[in-house]
Each structure stands twice: as C-alpha cells, then as structure tokens.
C-alpha cells in the first residue's frame, strides 16, 4: 500500500504481482504528471525558439541534465541523452571504432546484454581486432583475477556490465578500471541494471563511459543516458548528424558543437528528459543505499525459498541483487511462465537478450523474477506458491 499513490499501474491493477522491473520498472505518477505538464503548458521545441515557452522548455530540459550529473557525481557537460542504454552503448562503440586497429583487443564477457557485446563484434569483424572474453568463475562471477589473465598491452577497450540482467551479480568494475587504465584502455560500463539499484559515483569508479536507461528506474520509456568523462567524450566524433549538433555548415564540411550537444542531433526526447528528473529525485529521496538493501534482501529471500523447492534450479547467487533467474528442471521457461501469468504474476521468460550467459548456463532460457523498491515479501511468497503449483503441474516432466 505504501506505493499505491506513487505508481498508477499498482493502483489500476491491485492484484498484480509485478516481478519484471529488470525489463522495465513501473512508472511514477510524478513522472507522468511532469510529461503532462510539458505537453499541456510549454510543449514546444528546445534550444531553438527565441520566445518564452521555448526558454521554459529548454531550462526544464537542461535542469534534468544537471540532476542526472549530480546523481552520478559527474559534470553537466558529461551527460548525453540518448534513446536508451542500447543507443548509448552503440553510440560510444561506434565512435570509439575510429580508434580501433587491426590486432587491437577488446575485452568483454558472456554476462553482457546483446547491446554491450554485439557492437564490438561488428567492430572486430570490420577492423580485424580481437574480441576477448573474461572467463567467469564457477558461479558466473567476473573476478579481478580472471580479468588480469586477459588484459594485455593490446587491450584498447574494456566493455563490461556492472550488473548482469540474468544473474544479478555485480562486476568489480572499480578494480578492473584501475587495471585497464594502467594499459591505457578505455572502460565502457553498462549500468542498465545496476544504476536503478545502487548508488553509482562515476568519479569513484573512474569508468570512462557509463550507459543506462530511464525506463528501468521509474522514468519514461525511450530515454537513456551516456555518461562520458569529458576529455574522452569530447574527443569522439558524433555518429548522427543534423539539427542543433552543428556550429558552422559549409557546402562540403561542417563543424560540430562541443559535447554533449554534438551527440544530440535532431529534436530530442523533450518530454521524457524533462520528466526523468522526477524519477531521480524520487530515488534520491528513497535513498539508493536503502533501495539496494531492500532489493538484495528480497532477492536472497526468493533465492533461498526457490532453492528449497524440489525440481527447481536456481542460477542466482549470494551476490545477486534484484534478479532471480531459475528454471523448473526440464521445463521450457515459456511453458512454465503460463502458470505465473494465470496467477497474476508478471515475470520474464527466455534468454533476456543475453544469449551468451544462458548458453554458458547450459539452458535455452530461464524464468526471471526481477525485484524493485515497490515489491515486498508477500510478492515473493506468491512467486513461491506459484512455483510449487507449477512443479506439481509439470511433475511428470521434471527431470
Ligand atoms: N534489458 C531485460 O529484460 P534498453 O533496452 O536499451 O533500455 O536496455 C538495454 C540493456 C542493456 N544492458 C542491460 C544489462 C540490460 O539489461 C538491458 C535491457 C532488458 O533484461 C530488456 S532486454
């Protein structure tokens, strides 16, 4: 009930057990209200108009950049708005590709979401560079020791997730970044799952780039953020060209604005950017450290309860937060998921756009319950009850 007024989807679906926040979190009423405010009160373009409404919209837009920067302990000019974590990760990879040559090495891992690894597969194919995978330990954790084994003088980019969207485990990115920088390699961190759950300080982590999505942290869909250390970010060339990112345009050449604006070609996601600050303010009010504690406790509670059920295989570990992947042994997750849906439990089934890790686990996919601040123990108890029912239903096929 605590979140009843804050999240209209909860209000409108009182029996819903929402355990799919890893795919997209529920959206805040204050975010929706702010989008409405933009559309109804000053819904015009930004950075272009020379009239009052455009100034208001532009100020609201730029205020979010300041709020995001403060949230990450970054500088305002280090924040680029994109259409999602995917586009942020593609932007940085494509911009970096100019600096990748034959024989260079790019380090990644099988924990990656497709958007964190596929751009580098393309670069390696086109440039004759090598994609190198950090081996995982037995539990699926990425360790500093294993990272050291693959880091070489040829490493140019290290592209790793901060938190796996299948296992929910975190990467020791601070230690990895320190080592990578000793080899002058650039570190690109995928924060799509981590940023919603934990306090991230980019100065402390020292990563060069960090990408994440607004819609996984109570904000609007269609919006992402690319943080880039200013010197690095400003040294990259844009990959999209058009309105507002240029300075002087001549017949055969043009000059670009400085970062972040040279990476925001065309009319941006105005309403979404303006409203996103409401999500960040809310998360800060709730306290990210408390959110992490809450999500971690519920995750571990779910893991322990699931492990106690005969016929269930759990892939999450003691370091998992917010994500619990499991299977009913021998049952395809899509078949099992119908039981949960019948009981009003929303979870995800499949490879979660991270086929490398599901292959590493030796399965085609998993059931995945993902937990966020509005979930409580009763949601997990319902997940457990439904899992007992599913095991009973499939008992003849369980192997
Ligand atoms: N993972 C999931 O259900 P977008 O789709 O651009 O907002 O985020 C991409 C992305 C990048 N990295 C990680 C670690 C992610 O988990 C995601 C999105 C969703 O797990 C949708 S596939």
- The pLDDT tens digits of the residues spanning 112-145 come to 999 999 999 999 999 999 999 999 999 999 999 9
Nearest-CA residue for ligand 1 atom 21 is 23
Position 18 in a domain = no
pLDDT in tens, 311-334: 999 998 899 999 999 999 999 999
Residues 243 and 292 in one domain: no
Position 231 in a domain = yes
Distance 233 CA to ligand 1 centre (A): 23
pLDDT in tens, 60-88: 999 999 999 999 999 999 999 999 999 99
Position 9 in a domain = no
Which of 285, 308, 325 terminates a domain? The answer is 285
Cβ of residue 368 lying under 6 Å from some atom of ligand 1: no
| Whole-prediction pTM | 0.97
Q: Is 391 labeled as catalytic in the residue annotation?
A: no
Residues 204 and 335 in one domain: no
Cβ of residue 351 lying under 6 Å from some atom of ligand 1: no
Position 236 in a domain = yes
Residues 320 and 375 in one domain: yes
Cβ of residue 219 lying under 6 Å from some atom of ligand 1: no
Contacts of 252 (CB under 8 A, 6+ apart): none
Q: Return the percentage of the chain with pLDDT > 90, whole number.
A: 96
Position 21 in a domain = no
Q: How many domains does the chain have?
A: 2
Contacts of 10 (CB under 8 A, 6+ apart): 3, 4, 16, 18, 26, 374
Position 8 in a domain = no
Environment class of 315 (CB within 10 Å of its CB; exposed 0-12, middle 13-18, buried 19+): buried
Residues 215 and 304 in one domain: no
- The first and second tokens of residue 179, run together, are 């080592």
Residues 245 and 324 in one domain: no
Contacts of 233 (CB under 8 A, 6+ apart): 78, 80, 209, 259, 260, 263
Out of 18, 21, 85, give the residue to mutate to test ligand 1, the one with the largest number of ligand atoms within 8 Å of its CB.
85
| Cβ atoms 10, 17 nearer than 8 A | no
Res. 1: pLDDT tops 60: no
Position 342 in a domain = yes
Which of 285, 311, 328 terminates a domain? The answer is 285
Res. 44: pLDDT tops 80: yes
User: Which residues, in sequence order, are bridge partners of residue 81?
Assistant: 225
Residues 257 and 347 in one domain: no
Position 298 in a domain = yes
pLDDT in tens, 161-208: 999 999 999 999 999 999 999 999 999 999 999 999 999 999 999 999
Which of 285, 310, 331 terminates a domain? The answer is 285
pLDDT in tens, 269-280: 999 999 999 999
Compute the distance between CA of residue 44 and CA of residue 26 in angstroms, rounded to an integer.
27
For residue 255, the domain's CATH number is 3.40.640.10
Residues 213 and 350 in one domain: no
Compute the distance between CA of residue 171 and CA of residue 150 in angstroms, rounded to an integer.
15
Res. 53: pLDDT tops 60: yes
Out of 19, 192, 217, give the residue to mutate to test ligand 1, the one with the largest number of ligand atoms within 8 Å of its CB.
192
| Cβ atoms 351, 337 nearer than 8 A | no
Q: Which residue has the tokens 């095991």?
A: 391
Q: What mean pLDDT do residues 365-389 have?
A: 98
What's the pLDDT score for residue 4?
Answer: 84
Q: Return the percentage of the chain with pLDDT > 70, whole number.
A: 100
HEC string for the chain: CCCCCCCHHHHHCCCCEECECCCCCCCCHHHHHHHHHHHHHCCCCCCCCCCHHHHHHHHHHHHHHHHHHHHHCCCHHHEEEECCHHHHHHHHHHHHHHHCCCCCEEEECCCCCHHHHHHHHHHHHHHCCEEEECCCCCCCCCCHHHHHHHCCCCEEEEEEECECCCCCCECCHHHHHHHHHHCCCEEEEECCCCCCCCCCCHHHHCCCEEEEEHHHCCCCCCCEEEEECHHHHHHCCCCCCCCCCEEEECCCCEEECCCCHHHCCCCCCHHHHHHHHHHHHHHHHHCHHHHHHHHHHHHHHHHHHHHCCCCEEECCCCCCCCEEEEEECCCCHHHHHHHHHHCCEECEEECCCCHHHHHHHCCCCEEEEECCCCCCHHHHHHHHHHHHHHHHHCCCCCC
The boundaries of the domain holding residue 194 are: 29-285
Residues 362 and 388 in one domain: yes
Residues 313 and 275 in one domain: no
What's the pLDDT score for residue 49?
Answer: 86
Residues 236 and 362 in one domain: no
Cβ of residue 352 lying under 6 Å from some atom of ligand 1: yes
Residues 161 and 242 in one domain: yes
Cβ of residue 161 lying under 6 Å from some atom of ligand 1: yes
Res. 396: pLDDT tops 90: no
Q: Which residue has the tokens 């003849």?
A: 396
- The first and second tokens of residue 120, run together, are 């580098």
- The first and second tokens of residue 129, run together, are 């560079």
pLDDT in tens, 90-102: 999 999 999 999 9
Contacts of 243 (CB under 8 A, 6+ apart): 48, 265, 266, 267
Residues 212 and 66 in one domain: yes
pLDDT in tens, 216-250: 999 999 999 999 999 999 999 999 999 999 999 99
Q: How confident is the model at residue 398 (pLDDT cuts 50, 70, 90)?
A: confident
For residue 372, the domain's CATH number is 3.90.1150.10
Q: Which of 130, 164, 72 minimizes the C-alpha distance to 354?
A: 164
CA 345 distance to own-chain centroid:
23
Q: Which of 286, 268, 309, 276 minimizes the C-alpha distance to 65?
A: 276
Q: Which atom of ligand 1 is nearest to the CA of 87?
A: 6
């Amino acid at each position: 009930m605590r979140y009843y007024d804050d999240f209209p989807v909860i209000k409108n679906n009182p029996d819903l057990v929402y355990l799919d926040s890893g795919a997209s979190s529920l959206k805040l009423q204050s975010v929706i209200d702010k989008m409405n405010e933009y559309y109804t009160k000053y819904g015009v373009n930004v950075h272009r108009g020379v009239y009052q409404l455009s100034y208001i919209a532009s100020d609201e837009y730029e205020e979010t950049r300041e709020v995001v920067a403060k949230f990450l302990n970054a500088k305002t000019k280090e924040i680029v708005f994109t259409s999602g974590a995917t586009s942020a990760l593609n932007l940085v990879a494509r911009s970096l590709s100019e600096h990748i040559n034959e024989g260079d090495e790019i380090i990644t891992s099988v924990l990656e979401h497709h958007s964190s690894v596929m751009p580098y597969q393309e670069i390696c194919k086109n440039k004759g560079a090598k994609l190198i995978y950090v081996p995982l330990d037995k539990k699926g954790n990425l360790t500093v020791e294993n990272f050291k084994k693959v880091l070489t003088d040829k490493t140019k980019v290290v592209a790793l997730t901060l938190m796996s969207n299948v296992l929910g485990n975190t990467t020791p990115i601070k230690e990895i970044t320190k080592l990578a920088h000793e080899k002058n390699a650039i570190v690109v961190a995928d924060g799509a799952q981590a940023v919603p759950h934990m306090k991230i300080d980019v100065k402390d982590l020292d990563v060069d780039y960090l990408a994440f999505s607004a819609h996984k942290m109570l904000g609007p869909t269609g919006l992402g953020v690319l943080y880039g250390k200013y010197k690095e970010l400003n040294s990259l060339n844009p990959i999209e060209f058009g309105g507002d990112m240029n300075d002087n345009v001549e017949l055969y050449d043009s000059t670009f604005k400085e970062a972040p604006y040279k990476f925001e070609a065309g009319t941006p996601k105005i309403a979404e950017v303006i409203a996103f600050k409401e999500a960040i303010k809310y998360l800060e009010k709730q306290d990210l450290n408390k959110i992490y504690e809450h999500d971690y406790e519920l995750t571990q509670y779910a893991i322990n309860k699931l492990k106690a059920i005969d016929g269930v295989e759990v892939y999450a570990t003691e370091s998992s937060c917010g994500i619990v992947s499991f299977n009913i042994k021998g049952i395809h997750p899509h078949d099992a998921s119908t039981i949960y849906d019948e009981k009003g439990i929303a979870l995800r089934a499949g490879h979660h756009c991270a086929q490398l890790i599901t292959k590493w686990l030796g399965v085609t996919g998993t059931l995945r319950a993902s937990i966020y601040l509005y979930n409580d123990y009763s949601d997990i108890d319902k997940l457990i009850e439904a899992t007992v029912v599913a095991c009973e239903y499939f008992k003849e096929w369980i192997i």
